[in-house]
Amino acid sequence: MDMIDWNDFTKVELRVGRVLSAAVFPEARKPAYVLQVDFGKELGIRKSSAQVTALYSPDELVGKFVVAVVNFPRKQIGPLMSECLVTGFHNENGEVVLCVPDRDVPLGARLL
């Protein structure tokens, strides 16, 4: 494991957002959804591609809190310009389980 220092960690902005919409992303190479995530007044709404189709339906994602990196450069993924990276963990089957707060927090709150 590569060690980083505190300054490296503080550069990564992990923020909480709420999924406003989730739709199948048919142009993605691997099964994915296009998510619209609300990060509150300061950051607004951002789009992301998320490979979470194995464990989540679009309806189940709407309203869900997610944790995302919001200070990566935008990335072109097929026809989508991704504006944040929604985080998750691979389970024992290789499926992505979303990283989520276990209580309500304000939209845009930063992970400390």
Question: What residue spans of the chain are helical by DSSP H?
Answer: 6-11, 58-61
Residues 6+ apart with CB under 8 A from 36: 19, 20, 21, 22, 45, 46, 47
In this structure, is residue 42 part of a structural domain?
yes
Tell me how many domains the chain contains: 1
**Global pTM?**
0.94
48: closest CA among 31, 35, 29? 35
CATH number of residue 31's parent domain: 2.40.50.140
Question: Containing domain of residue 80, as a range?
Answer: 11-98
Q: CB under 8 Å, gap of 24 or more: what pairs does 41-45 form?
A: 41/108, 42/108, 43/15, 43/17, 43/70, 43/108, 45/20
In this structure, is residue 18 part of a structural domain?
yes
In this structure, is residue 1 part of a structural domain?
no
In this structure, is residue 4 part of a structural domain?
no
In this structure, is residue 66 part of a structural domain?
yes
In this structure, is residue 75 part of a structural domain?
yes
Q: Tell me what pLDDT residue 1 has.
A: 87
Token look-up 């209580």 returns 103
Q: Tell me: the pLDDT tens digits for 45-102?
A: 999 999 999 999 999 999 999 999 999 999 999 999 999 999 999 999 999 999 999 9
Q: Tell me what pLDDT residue 112 has.
A: 86
Q: Would you state the torsion angle of the CA atoms of residues 106, 19, 11, 3, taken in this order, to the nearest 10 degrees?
A: 110
